[in-house]
Structure 1
Amino acid sequence: MGDHSPASPSDAPAPFSDSAAPPPVPTETKSHADHHQDVPVHTKEEEQLPRIKAPTPRPTFMEHLADSRETQFHLHRQDSSELDRYFHGPRDMDKHSKWPIFMRMHGSVTPKMILPMLLVALWATLITCISHFLHDLGVNDILLTVLGFVVGLALSFRSSTAYERWADGRKYWSQLIQTSRNLARTIWVNTGEREGELGKVDLLRKLSAMNLILAFGVALKHKLRFEPDIAYEDLAGLVGYLDTFARDAHDHSVVHPKPKSTLKSTGEYLGVSFAESNPRKLIKRSKKPLGHLPLEILNHLSAYIDSCVDNGTLKSGLHQSQAITMMSTLNEVLTGTERVLDTPLPSAYSIAIAQISWIYVLVLPFQLYQFLHWITIPASVVAAYIIIGLATIGSEIENPFGQDVNDLPLDTYCRQIALELDIMTATPPPKVDDFMEREDNLVMFPLSQSGYSEWHDRSVEDIRAALKAKVVASPTPSGNPTAMSDTSTILGNESMSKQSV
């Protein structure tokens, strides 16, 4: 028996904090009548004891997340102005622009080219003024040919390697979507449900497994974007109940970072490297192990597949091997995307290509002045826009998993998986007898408008003759639509005459 003393406010359990793991969600609540019957009778001695203040229950992980959704909504509305979306915003594949492609700013690197173009303009103006008023600094234009060839090779190499990484990222996400469809179909259609109360358990477990398939894609998206927490609105409801390292390391400041200053936001918008933060800073600042959430989700999915094999709901050995193979494919996608993310172009190449491009641009005014004079200034700016722009595009698409316009639309891919899983689970697993033998099953369409039952009453010879006539009655290259209808009528008349005989 412990000492009973009045509880102070500091003794009460603190609300859900970053260091405390969320408590389990209560599964049952008593009704008002039941609560009234369970009220104990206190004696006089018990009433004289000092009363202990009832502890305030801590909010669960999901309740803690729900309280912050409205704040997230307002932050999203504030950070997504029309002007920002026009120049540099998240990619939305549902939107369509009627502007000619050379006039579009959405997805262009023009905002990041403002400062470099301004620098080149000032440099070209300086060289031109010195050459015009003081001393001619012009040089032979042979450098245009020699350096131009080298710069072209460097930019070609930069662009090809960057696009290869972008294409690899798209390939892996296509493989993820395809595997998610196949695994979901194996779970929903090929995994059975037992009779009685166990059938309800099987159904709920199948739905939980479908959520884990979606959770894998969403968790992979956040991991590739260096977002280590689990309390994101599209992820917490899917895996918030799992015991994972990411849940134990939850940090409120990660999900709700401090707003950026105007100077920093402007610097990032203009592509100033000094203003850009290290994308891995949230991972480096974590005070607890973050684990590997996509891999942990795969572990739970594997455990579910094993349970289906053990309880006999996944009977077919073929489907069992397919499920295990698809789990391996998801792991392959995870490893492949991490390879794309963690293996950029070596720094030596990146630095050399940037230096070569800038040397060529800075030498241009010296070579152009003797031929263009004052036009050297705009000519240098145009040439710099082309050369530095191509190098900037290579740097832009080198990491295809970010949130820029030119990055892969991972949010759209995850929504696509969620929608397809909802479509799949909207109806019970189909049974062959329920849809094959329906009267509106036009098995010989477009040759015949007769249903399944009518063709079922005919002989095998009639069915095979109809199949042959279907080829003969196919539309001719000239597009004559009457051949099909005439043959269908003849076939129907022949069948009617055979039945009457």
Structure 2
Amino acid sequence: MTDGHGAPPSDAPAPAAASDSTAAPVPADLRSNVHHHAAATHEKEQASSIGRMTPRPTFLENLATSRDSQFQFDRRDSSELDRYFHGPRNMEKHSKWPIMMRMHGSVMPKMILPLLTVAIWSTAITVFSKKVHSLGINNILLTVLGFVVGLALSFRSSTAYERWADGRKYWAQLIQTSRNLSRTIWINTAEREGEEGRDDVLRKLSAINLILAFAVSLKHKLRFEPDIAYEDLAGLAGHLDTFARDAHDRMVVNPPPKSIWKSAGEYLGVSFAESNPRKYVKRSKKPLGHLPLEILNHLSAYIDSCVANGTMLSTLHQGQAITMMATLNEVLTGTERVLDTPLPTAYSIAIAQISWIYILVLPFQLYDALKWITIPASIVAAYIILGLATIGSEIENPFGHDVNDLPLDTYCRQIAVEMDIMTATPRPDVDDFMSRAENLVLFPLSQLGYPDWQQRSLEDIRGALRTKAVVGPSSAASDTSTMVESLRPKTTTSSV
């Protein structure tokens, strides 16, 4: 029995493949997530001239319409406060507020409780010193301890930013490699005649989608999201036999909502309220595999098939494709290195302890000189010191959901848009776009097109090129027409 769209209902078990008894069936609840997309796609295909095709009960049903809903910057069930203080950062928006007054991306929410603690502590020290007995000490410790704290914070900030910058470099390399590999597949891979040519186009599109799936799966892996049924990934890689599909758990994709106390604790930076980012990876009851690596395996198999069927004959393009596959693997390894090699725990603990010792001792050193001003002075000093330490802790992992983390959703959407642009037109025909009359080959020296210059002799063309070099690109064509005529042989009668 079907659900009316050519696919089994969501509560029915997936039929076993006749040709491969060992293939794992697609989980029923995963199929139900994409059936409504498949229905819309099926209706569009019925009304089109392409013809009616029965959709398969796989993730490919979601491919045609998944682009309309994927890569959302804001979570639909989140509040304005959640979207303001949490990422990913929307690079398309711009704030006109002065930088010192901006809260979007600031660590101020996480500074509230520490600053409140410092305020209470400095007030207690000041009041006791004023009413009971002076607790002021020599401020020589300001110089000695301040130097140590400065070195510690400098080390913390530099190592954290280095990891952030390395993460950005690897994603820039991923975008560049995705462009090159997609162009090699779409332009440099031939398409055969007849039905084989149609299959070649569909396979090329599938391979390009796998390149995008690699980027999206890498994003989820770096965020410790081990499933495959995410909205931006299911339609791209759900048809592959992977460990992630076999280990699918709907609780990972749709976790229960957080309580107000837990959300408030995360906003304020309370360590007891923060969840272990690897909790879904640890709780999995089945092997999760390595989805980005498995996608690379499928891409490699596609390249081999192109070599075998003769659509990629050039050894240069074959070598380039294999090299770019290795580059994608290098990006995968590099981002994992950034993620799994944080600052050693001993350094993190020592820097935190040194900073807090300095802040707690500060009121004793300031009281003799500042009296009641000790309270605001201690708060300002704590904001500077703890602020730098908090920033270093936040950007240490650049792949998360915080505002200051890398906008991985934006990078993936950029790759998707560029691939759509690339595949929107077939491979350009050189004879077509070169010989157009709009091709002003000697612009701005001449307003004549390619066909007009094609009728002239090679000596005329070289003479015009020399004139163009002498005149320079800043001169208008009307100013150089007389000079071109003077350099052209007398037998030439047409004008430039």
TM-score w.r.t. length of structure 2: 0.86
Q: Deviations over 1:141-182 (max 9, x none)?
A: 100000000000000000000000000000000000000000
**Structure 1 residues 451, 175: closer, same or farther in 2, change over 3 A?**
same
1:489, distance to aligned residue in structure 2 (A): 3.7
Q: Secondary structure at the match of 1:78?
A: coil
- Match status 1:487 vs 2:480: yes
- Asked whether the equivalents of residues 107 and 387 of structure 2 are also in contact (C-alpha less than 8 Å), the reply is yes
Q: Percent identity?
A: 74
What is residue 347 of structure 1 aligned with on the other side?
A: 345
Cα distance in 1 for partners of 2:281, 2:349 equals 26
What is residue 76 of structure 1 aligned with on the other side?
A: 75
Aligned length: 450
Cα distance in 2 for partners of 1:300, 1:80 equals 40
**Structure 1 residues 62, 132: closer, same or farther in 2, change over 3 A?**
farther
Of the two, which has the highest radius of gyration?
Answer: 1
1:458, distance to aligned residue in structure 2 (A): 1.4
Task: Give the 5 Å matches for 1:280-291.
Answer: 280-291=278-289
Q: Aligned to 2:492, which of 478, 483, 499?
A: 499
Cα distance in 1 for partners of 2:291, 2:431 equals 42
Q: Structure 2: where are the runs of 5+ without partners?
A: 1-8, 15-23, 39-55
Cα distance in 2 for partners of 1:366, 1:459 equals 91
- Asked whether the equivalents of residues 138 and 370 of structure 1 are also in contact (C-alpha less than 8 Å), the reply is yes
- Match status 1:22 vs 2:20: no
Q: Deviations over 1:274-315 (max 9, x none)?
A: 000000000000011110000000000000000000000001
Q: Secondary structure at the match of 1:191?
A: coil
- Match status 1:123 vs 2:128: no
1:490, distance to aligned residue in structure 2 (A): 2.9
Q: Which amino acid aligns with 1:414?
A: C
Q: Which amino acid aligns with 1:22?
A: P
Q: Secondary structure at the match of 2:492?
A: helix
Task: Give the 5 Å matches for 1:214-293.
Answer: 214-293=212-291
- Asked whether the equivalents of residues 88 and 409 of structure 2 are also in contact (C-alpha less than 8 Å), the reply is no
- Asked whether the equivalents of residues 16 and 60 of structure 1 are also in contact (C-alpha less than 8 Å), the reply is no
Q: Aligned to 1:430, which of 410, 415, 428?
A: 428
Q: Aligned to 1:400, which of 395, 398, 401?
A: 398
- Match status 1:95 vs 2:93: yes
TM-score w.r.t. length of structure 1: 0.85
Cα distance in 1 for partners of 2:177, 2:227 equals 25
The root-mean-square deviation of aligned C-alpha atoms, in Å, is 2.7
1:492, distance to aligned residue in structure 2 (A): 4.5
Cα distance in 1 for partners of 2:471, 2:317 equals 40
Cα distance in 2 for partners of 1:13, 1:177 equals 36
What is residue 44 of structure 1 aligned with on the other side?
A: none
Cα distance in 1 for partners of 2:414, 2:26 equals 32
Cα distance in 2 for partners of 1:183, 1:211 equals 12
Cα distance in 2 for partners of 1:253, 1:445 equals 61
- Asked whether the equivalents of residues 186 and 323 of structure 1 are also in contact (C-alpha less than 8 Å), the reply is yes
- Asked whether the equivalents of residues 27 and 248 of structure 2 are also in contact (C-alpha less than 8 Å), the reply is no
**Structure 1 residues 318, 280: closer, same or farther in 2, change over 3 A?**
same
What is residue 358 of structure 1 aligned with on the other side?
A: 356
- Asked whether the equivalents of residues 245 and 289 of structure 1 are also in contact (C-alpha less than 8 Å), the reply is yes
Q: Structure 1: where are the runs of 5+ without partners?
A: 1-11, 28-57
Cα distance in 1 for partners of 2:124, 2:332 equals 52
Q: Which amino acid aligns with 1:498?
A: T
Cα distance in 1 for partners of 2:138, 2:388 equals 26
Q: Which amino acid aligns with 1:374?
A: W
What is residue 140 of structure 2 aligned with on the other side?
A: 142
**Structure 1 residues 13, 136: closer, same or farther in 2, change over 3 A?**
closer
Q: Secondary structure at the match of 1:446?
A: coil
Q: Which amino acid aligns with 1:355?
A: Q
1:64, distance to aligned residue in structure 2 (A): 10
